[in-house]
Amino acid sequence: MIEIDRVTKVFGAGAEAFRALDAVNVTIRQNEFFTLLGPSGCGKTTLLRVMAGFVDPTEGAVTLEGDDLLRLAPYERPVNTVFQSYALFPHMTVAENIGFGLEMQGRPRDEVRRTVGEMLELVRMSELADRRTSEISGGQQQRVALARALAPRPRVLLLDEPLSALDFKLRKDMQLELKRLQSETGITFIFVTHDQEEALTMSDRIAVMNEGAIRQIGSPRDIYDHPAERFVADFIGDTNFLEAELLSKEEARAEVRLASGAAVTARAAEGGAEAGAVTLAIRPEHADLAPEGEGLLPGRLSDVVYFGTDTHFHVDLDAGGRFVVRRQNTPDRAEARAPGERVAVRFGARVGQVLRD
Ligand SMILES: Nc1ncnc2c1ncn2[C@@H]1O[C@H](COP(=O)(O)OP(=O)(O)OP(=O)(O)O)[C@@H](O)[C@H]1O
C-alpha cells in the first residue's frame, strides 16, 4: 500500500551534513499494524515525518497505492499523525476537540455530530464528551488525541511514540486498546517506538532500524526467534552469543561446531558467511540446564537470580564466556541448584541462529 523507495534524508550540508535516512526501502501493507523500532536517533521519526509531509526527503519516492505522496502538502495526504504530546485544546471539550478537524474541513454539522459520537464510542469516552480536556487524565487525553486523528478517517494513521507519556499500567492497557482500534477501523497504523516490548505485543510486522537504515523486517516472532544480525539480536530481548565454526550451510539450515567441540544444527540468516567463524545467537529461555556430561556446553554455575516469574542461571562456560539460561518458575518447583555446581547448557536442534555478521 505504502511504498518507500530508496528514501534518503540528509540534514545540513558540507561538513555538517548528517545522513538521517540512508536509502530506506520498505513496503507497508493495507490494514497492517506496522512498527518502526530502533534506538534514539536511528531515524524512525524522520521516516514518519517524510510520510506525513513534514520532512522532504533528499532522494527517493513515497507512494500510496501507486500515487506519489511527495507532491502533496501534508494536509492533502490521506494520512494523519498522533504525536507524543497530544496537543489538545485545553479550553475545548472532549467532543469539540474530536470534531475540530472535521469542522475545519467544512463537513456538515450532522455529519460532524455523528462522527464525533462514533469516535467517542470507539475510544470509550462517551461519558466524558462534555468535559474540558484540561480536566481529564493523561490516558483519557491520549484516547481523545486518537479519536481526533481517526475522525477524518485517514487511510493511514502515523503514531509517534504516543504512549511514552503514560505510566506503566496505563501503557499496557493502551497497547491493547490501540491494537483493538486498528483492527476495528481497518486503518493502516504506522507506529514509532524505541520500546521493544511495545513493538512485539502490538505489531503485525516490525522494521528494526539502526543508523538510518532498516536492518530487518518481519513478524514479532520472526524478529525475536530469528534475528538476522547482532544488532537486532542485541536490541530485542536478551541473547547469548556463542563463537562457533560453520561446517556447512544449506538455505536456512546450518551445521556448526561449538567451542566445546559439540556439533549442532542451527538456523542461518540469509546472507552472511558460508564457512568459518560465525556467531550463534540463543535466547536464554530457549536453552536449559543439564547434568554435566549430558549437555552441549559444560561449565560452572556462577549465579542463580530469582525474578519472580522466572529464574536466571548464569553459567561460566569451560570453553570461555558466560551463558544465561532462563527458566519459568512454577509454584511446585523449588530450584535446588546452587552457585558453584557443575552443569552443562543444552539446547535443541535449530534453536541457535547463525547471524549474518
Ligand atoms: N531538522 C534536523 N536537522 C538536523 N538533524 C536532524 C533534524 N531532525 C533530526 N535530525 C537528526 O537525525 C537523526 C534521526 O532523528 P530522528 O528524530 O528521526 O530519530 P529517532 O529514531 O526518531 O529518535 P528518537 O527516538 O530519539 O526520537 C538524529 O541524529 C537527529 O539528531
Domains of the chain (ranges, CATH numbers): 2-225 (3.40.50.300), 230-354 (2.40.50.140)
Q: Is the CB of 18 under 6 A from ligand 1?
A: yes
Instruction: Give the three-class secondary structure for 308.
Output: coil
ipTM of the complex: 0.93
Ligand 1, residues 7, 10, 11, 36: which to mutate, most atoms within 8 A of Cβ?
Answer: 11
**Cβ of residue 212 lying under 6 Å from some atom of ligand 1:** no
Radius of gyration of the chain (CA): 25
Low pLDDT (below 50) residues in the chain: none
The span from the CA of 284 to the CA of 297, in Å, is 14
The pLDDT assigned to 53 comes to: 95
Of all protein residues, whose CA lies closest to atom 2 belonging to ligand 1?
A: 11
Does the beta carbon of 11 lie inside 6 Å of ligand 1?
yes
Output the CA 85–ligand 1 centroid distance in Å.
Answer: 17
Residue type, 217: I
CA 185 to centroid of ligand 1, rounded, Å: 31
Q: Which pLDDT score, from 0 to 100, does residue 217 have?
A: 97
Q: According to the model, what pLDDT value does residue 85 have?
A: 73
Query: Distance of CA 81 to CAs 50, 62, 74, 115, Å?
Result: 12, 17, 10, 18
Residue found under cell 544449506: 250
Residue 289 C-alpha cell reads as 540446564
Report the C-alpha dihedral over residues 159, 190, 46, 72, rounded to 10 degrees: -100
The torsion region of residue 214 among left (phi > 0), alpha (psi -120 to 50) and beta comes to: beta
Q: Is the CB of 171 under 6 A from ligand 1?
A: no
Helix axes 94-104, 109-122, angle to 10 degrees: 130
Q: Are 287 and 323 in contact (CB under 8 A)?
A: yes
Main-chain dihedrals φ then ψ at residue 278, nearest 5 degrees? -135, 170
C-alpha 349 to ligand 1 mean position (Å) = 42
**pLDDT of 38:** 96
The predicted pLDDT at position 335 comes to 65
Atom of ligand 1 nearest to the CA of 49: 18
